[in-house]
Amino acid sequence: MPSPHILIIVQNLPVPLDRRVWLECRALIARGYRVSVICPRGPGDPGFQRIDGVDIYKYSPAREASGFLGFAWEFAYSWLRTAWLSLRVWRRGRFDVIQACNPPDTYWLLALLWRIRGVRFVFDHHDLNPELYLSRFGAPRSFAQRLQYAGLVWLERRTFRAADRIISTNESYKAIAVKRGDRMPGHVAVVRSGPDTRQMRPIVPVHPRPADRINLVYLGIMGPQDGVDQVLLIVDELVRRGRDEVTATLLGFGDCLDELRSQCTRLGLDDRVTFTGRVDRVAIAEHLSGADIGICPDLKTPLNDVSTMNKTMEYMAYALPSVSFDLIETRISGADSLLYVPSGDVSAFADAIERLIDDPALRVRLGRLGRERVSSLLDWRPQAEAYVAVFDQVTGFSQPGPAVPDEGSLPAVDTEGRTYVDIHDAVEFDRFIIERSAS
């Protein structure tokens, strides 16, 4: 049987920048599948790339949208560009399965069109768009708002119904797919977005923070629902308390980045807060290895409460003690390796950070707990097996071997030549968690 060809569609991030999708691509390749991806083009990206056996077709993204008509145009533009590129992929080699990753919930129609050619459809359920609407705008009141919300629910239902199989990122999302999508539980698989902890582990930072500083870090998208403004309020609160040693580094980009920079200036924090903008895996490893405390500022909303936050698990992978607003799925990811405070309570969040600053032994304990939990329970390897099994079921194809090949002993340095911290040397590992620098 020839190797099945999987076409993966992503709209909200380029690949391989989208970590989950890239891990999925590599898992499929490792098990003998052929993989193509259609996604938007990142800064400086070519229109076509072949990386590690994956063919990546990219289109120029739509201009930044605002308002209902702006988002409708963005979705329509991206859908048409994706549809056109899918024809190009087909001409180079027919594909057997389309995997569409949301947001948005619009590619079910493209999947139905390709079903005429015998193509199956797998929905990789990344976000809850109806809950995203409620989190950003509240309960719909006007006729136009109710119409927009009803449209999102309808699109989601159509996606659930059209899919041959659904992949959900956690049990909360699976329950929604079963209930709202009226799907059989056996047709919905949970594949968590766990990090590859062999690759994602602390390095000795090339540019460590000064010994008399404590650096907070945020990693993620900066949209209205992500609560990054809370980070600035927390830093401001700590400064007002006389915590002159505190600085913060905010990694990422999004709709709110310019607004956040303005807020930072208004609060007088420009000398304490660094915005990096878009970062790659090399920069993420440097910053998360060199920081002292991870910040999870996502407020309790209908979306955030049931969503798995990738940043939480990435902080854990780098043995970074963290503080989070108290969310259902964040507790499932972090368990007792994080400190939790009531949603929106900036003062309590600052209290928890001060507790970590003043108690190095607590930082060590939480950093160790997080690293142990993410590597033993949340690692990508078992998730990769569950992910590939979905395509084995859909295609009837099966090739022996691990979805993430065993690469032997852990290397001492990363691809950039930076030294990994010896996490098996208890004394050195504890020292590093406190000092975040070379011995």
Q: Give the Cα separation of 17 and 278 in Å (integer).
A: 10
Q: Where are the beta strands (DSSP E) in 297-344?
A: 322-325, 338-341
Joined tokens for residue 308 = 């798995």
pLDDT tens sequence across 232-291: 999 999 999 999 999 999 999 988 999 999 999 999 999 999 999 989 889 999 999 999
Whole-number Å distance between alpha carbons of 389 and 400: 11
In tens, the pLDDT along 118-131 reads 999 999 999 999 99
Measuring CA to CA, which residue among 85, 87, 84, 60 is closest to residue 74? Answer: 60
- Going through 242-347 in order, the beta strands assigned E by DSSP cover 246-251, 273-277, 293-296, 322-325, 338-341
Tokens 């099966």 sit on residue:
398
CB 353 within 8 A of CB 323: yes
Average pLDDT over residues 16-32: 94
Q: From residue 402, how far is each of 31, 166, 347 by CA, in Å? A: 7, 22, 47
Question: Which residue, among 100, 106, 25, 2, has the nearest Cα to 387 in the 3D structure?
Answer: 25
Task: Return the C-alpha torsion angle 320, 326, 327, 329, nearest 10.
Answer: 40
Identity at 260, one-letter amino acid code: L
**Sign of dihedral through CA atoms 79, 85, 87, 93?**
negative
- Strands across the sheet containing 34-40: 48-51, 54-59, 34-40, 5-9, 97-101, 120-125, 165-168, 188-190
Give the Cα separation of 383 and 180 in Å (integer): 24
Question: Where do we find the tokens 């927390």?
Answer: 234
| Average pLDDT value for residue range 177-198 | 94
Which DSSP string corresponds to 180-213? HTT--GGGEEE------TTTSS-B--SSPPPTT-
What is d(CA 66, CA 71) in angstroms, rounded to the nearest whole number? 6
Cα separation, 124 vs 307, in Å, equals: 14
pLDDT at 73: 86
Query: Rg of the chain's alpha carbons, rounded to an integer?
Result: 22
pLDDT tens column, 161-187: 999 999 999 999 999 999 999 999 999
The contacts of residue 325 (CB under 8 Å, 6+ apart) are 227, 230, 296, 297, 298, 299, 300, 340, 341, 342, 343, 344, 345, 349
Q: Give the domains, in start order, of the chain with CATH numbers.
A: 5-194+380-395 (3.40.50.2000), 214-375 (3.40.50.2000)
Confidence of residue 384 (pLDDT cuts 50, 70, 90): very high
Please report how the helices 310-317 and 281-290 are oriented relative to each other, as an axis angle in degrees rounded to 10: 60
351-383: pLDDT as tens digits = 999 999 999 999 999 999 999 999 999 999 999
Compute the mean pLDDT over every residue in the chain, rounded to the nearest whole number. Answer: 94
Query: Which DSSP symbol is given to 141?
Result: -
Q: What is the DSSP letter of 18?
A: S
